[in-house]
A and B are shown apart, each in its own frame.
Chain A
Amino acid sequence: DIVMTQSPDSLAVSLGERATINCKSSQSVLYSSNNKNYLAWYQQKPGQPPKLLIYWASTRESGVPNRFSGSGSGTDFTLTISSLQAEDVAVYYCQQYYGTLLTFGGGTKVEIK
């Protein structure tokens, strides 16, 4: 299995400030034949299923605000919330879908400072 490691476990950010979450995979999730990173980011609010925010490491799902952006390649990835809003309080998960079994990171809890 590909192991996904997120950091930090939690972070508190002031409204309007930037939040940055890191994710590292135990092996590359970059598929050389199409040059795509099989890496997604999800947002999960209490009592709700995860919501897909970003796939292919940097492509926003339809309807996702453009303050959410993803970057990185190979084994190191970042989710950035450029200007934190109150509704962004949630747990964020990275996930790889390169392997035969999709695996998730441990999650990062984002709160308001």
Chain B
Amino acid sequence: QITLRESGPTLVKPTQTLTLTCTFSGFSLTTNGVGVGWIRQPPGKALECLALIYWDDDERYSPSLKSRLTITKDTSKNQVVLTMINMDPVDTGTYYCAHRRKVNREWGTFDYWGQGTLVIVSS
């Protein structure tokens, strides 16, 4: 059974750095054809994919946020960490992590999601 859980601070100040951790179970990020992504959702707004990391260390970032994001993995802890620098109130929202995998050698989409963690950026 695949589960993911996001953790991190609820409140950050503008200009600070946000660090979020996705702790997962039921799969391994050392397995060929597996990835974990971070997706955010401002209150009442749409979903936005921020970054993905794959079993082979490939990293993908949203072009508009690439300069502010870093995604890493710790396979021994079954964790993926997202770091976002220079936080701004517009970054307020719920941050989700999600699982992605290849099925029959073809990439699928996000099939398992965490419950999300709310991040508020305010002084």
Contact = CB atoms under 8 A, between A and B. Distances in A.
Interface range, B side? 20 to 34
A49 B114 contact: yes
A101 B47 CA distance: 13
A101 B46 contact: no
Contacts of A38: 107, 109
Interface string B99-115: 01000001111110111
A102 B108 contact: no
Contact of A97 (B63, B107, B115): B107
> For the complex, would chain A's binding face be called helix, strand, loop or mixed by DSSP majority?
loop
A52 B110 contact: yes
Interface range, A side? 20 to 34
B15 interface: no
Contacts of A72: none
B93 interface: no
A97 B109 contact: yes
Interface of B: 37, 46-49, 52, 60-63, 96, 98, 100, 106-111, 113-116
A3 B85 CA distance: 25
A19 to B, nearest CB: 19
Contacts of A55: 108-109, 111
Interface of A: 1, 34, 36, 38, 40, 42, 48-52, 55, 61, 93, 95, 97, 100-107
B46 A107 contact: yes
Given A40-B109, A49-B116, A55-B109, A102 B46 contact: no
A93 B98 CA distance: 16
A102 B106 contact: no
B54 to A, nearest CB: 11
22 contacts: A1-B62, A42-B47, A48-B115, A50-B47, A51-B113, A52-B110, A52-B111, A55-B111, A61-B111, A93-B46, A93-B47, A95-B109, A97-B100, A97-B108, A97-B109, A101-B62, A101-B63, A102-B52, A104-B46, A106-B46, A107-B46, A107-B47
A101 B116 contact: no
A36 B49 CA distance: 22
